[in-house]
């Protein structure tokens, strides 16, 4: 099990246990010992945004009852397909998602909730339940677990001060002072990590341009792969934190897929991997495994359907154009940013690079096979996160149910930039996204 000695989540540090082990008594103890005065129930509505229900803690008995029974809410105001005549739902706290609200002036503990119906069953239309069902079926059919992580891209819009301008469309990994909002990004990363997000890194992105007296700077925060259900939770919390922090800074941020023609749009690339007993199954003997190719076949087969959950804004389709590091056709390839599914570098070479750079370190080969992922590149910031990840889970399962999945991956593999004019014949043969 992963060491928690340096975990930035204060609840994890205090309880000295992983979030999935949190109990009701643990949360009550943390609340008592840290003078927490309020609890917020958080849950996602049909619009994909976090909702809030505030509670002032009156007593230990009240807190215990709240964390045991949950609360009822008006489902018809949260989901448009629920009739007002019979609309009540329960929201039941999921203890493992608890975190200290980083913005509340009153000490507050927030907890994500699951929706339940009047019969005490999971509400079938709830986003988090749809994802859980998709993952349960995937595990039942394949015997494996599905993990994902997101690359969360966004633009920060600020007034142009005329100083230290980054080159147009050349903002990738830029540093201060050419990157204006490094401090905001690192502040957001700290708050997300303290709230349970497993962050890999953050950086400025390609998109950087000036228009109408304003600077548009693109940034990205990328996460570590984890259980697909937990991955959705951390992405939804991260978007809320970034937006709320921007409001505290008095500035504007946007996850919009496309701001203007000819400039980089913001995506929500999803990296995926298949696991069994804690081992990544995406590679075998230093190459991409047949299991990975089977998953890719499922993505190829259901790719157009996945845009229904990953590309909800009309401007999504202005982003999916040639020469903008965005896909337009159903294909896959290694280290190729013109394709729908990319196989990024995965530390597969039998070389100890750290020893070459630092000769004082051991030259023993390291097992880094757990780092290989398969990246699905069409989604963007308009995505319904829970339904998108549910769709990807179903698509991955689809690969295992196909009769000849490896034939599909063979037919859709490309090793070229499909937008290069020299390869227009190949492009014409590929199915449109």
The full set of domain ranges for the chain reads 10-125, 133-429
Using CA atoms, how far residue 317 sits from 301, 324, 327, 404, in Å, is 20, 12, 10, 31
Contacts of 38 (CB under 8 A, 6+ apart): 54, 55, 56, 57, 104, 106, 107, 108, 109
pLDDT at res. 1: 57
Domain over 133-429 is classified CATH 3.40.50.261: no
- Contact assessment for residue 231 and residue 149, using Cβ atoms and an 8 Å cutoff: yes
| Residues contacting residue 362 through CB under 8 Å, at least 6 positions apart | 352, 355
How far apart CA 233 and CA 132 sit, in angstroms, is: 12
> Residue 287 to residues 283, 332, 417: CA-CA distances in angstroms?
5, 16, 22
The CA distance from 350 to 273, in Å, is 21
Q: Which of 46, 69, 51 is nearest to 125 (CA)?
A: 46
* CA 268 from centroid of its chain's CA atoms: 7
Cβ neighbours for 401, distance < 8 A, ≥ 6 positions apart: 141
The reported pTM is 0.96
Could you state, in chain order, the average pLDDT of each consecutive group of 10 residues for the chain (433 residues)?
89 98 99 99 96 99 99 96 88 99 99 98 97 99 99 97 92 96 98 98 97 96 99 99 98 96 95 98 96 99 97 95 87 89 93 96 91 98 98 99 98 86 80 89
Task: Tell me if residue 347 falls in helix, strand or coil.
Answer: coil
Rounded to whole angstroms, how far apart are CA atoms 256 and 43?
22
Q: What is the pLDDT of residue 421?
A: 78
Pick the CATH number of 10-125 from 3.40.50.300, 3.10.20.70, 3.40.718.10, 3.10.50.40: 3.10.20.70
């Amino acid at each position: 099990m992963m060491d928690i000695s340096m975990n930035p989540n204060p609840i994890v540090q205090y309880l000295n246990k992983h979030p999935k082990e949190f109990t009701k008594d643990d949360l009550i103890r943390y609340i008592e010992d840290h003078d927490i005065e309020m609890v917020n129930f958080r849950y996602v509505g049909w619009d994909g945004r976090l909702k809030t229900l505030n509670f002032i803690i009156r007593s230990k008995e009240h807190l215990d009852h709240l964390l045991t029974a949950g609360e009822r809410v008006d489902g018809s105001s949260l989901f448009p397909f629920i009739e007002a005549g019979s609309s009540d739902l329960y929201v039941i706290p999921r203890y493992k998602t608890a975190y200290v609200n980083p913005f509340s002036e009153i000490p507050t503990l927030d907890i994500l909730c699951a929706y339940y119906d009047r019969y005490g069953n999971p509400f079938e239309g709830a986003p988090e339940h749809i994802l859980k069902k998709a993952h349960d079926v995937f595990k039942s059919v394949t015997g494996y677990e599905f993990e994902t992580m997101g690359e969360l891209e966004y633009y920060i819009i600020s007034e142009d001060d005329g100083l230290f301008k980054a080159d147009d469309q050349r903002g990738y990994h830029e540093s201060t002072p050419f990157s204006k909002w490094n401090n905001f990004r690192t502040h957001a990363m700290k708050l997300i990590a303290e709230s349970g997000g497993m962050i890999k890194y953050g950086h400025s992105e390609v998109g950087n341009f000036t228009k109408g007296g304003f600077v548009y700077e693109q940034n990205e925060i990328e996460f570590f792969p984890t259980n697909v259900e937990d991955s959705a939770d951390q992405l939804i919390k991260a978007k809320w934190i970034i937006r709320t922090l921007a409001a505290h800074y008095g500035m504007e941020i946007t996850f919009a897929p496309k701001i203007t023609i000819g400039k980089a749009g913001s995506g929500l690339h999803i990296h995926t991997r298949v696991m069994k007993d804690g081992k990544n199954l995406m590679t075998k003997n230093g190459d991409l495994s047949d299991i990975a190719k089977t998953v890719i076949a499922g993505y190829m087969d259901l790719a157009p359907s996945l845009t229904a959950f990953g590309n909800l804004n009309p401007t999504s389709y202005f982003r999916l154009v040639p020469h903008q590091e965005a896909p337009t056709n159903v294909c896959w390839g290694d280290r190729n940013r013109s394709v729908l599914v990319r196989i990024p570098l995965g530390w597969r070479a039998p070389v100890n690079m750290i020893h070459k750079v630092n000769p004082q370190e051991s030259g023993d080969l390291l097992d880094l096979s757990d780092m290989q992922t398969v990246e699905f590149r069409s989604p963007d910031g308009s995505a319904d996160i829970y339904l998108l990840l549910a769709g990807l889970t179903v698509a991955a399962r689809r690969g295992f149910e196909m009769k000849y999945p490896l034939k599909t991956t063979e037919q859709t593999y490309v090793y070229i930039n499909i937008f290069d004019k020299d390869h227009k014949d190949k492009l014409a043969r590929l199915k449109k996204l």
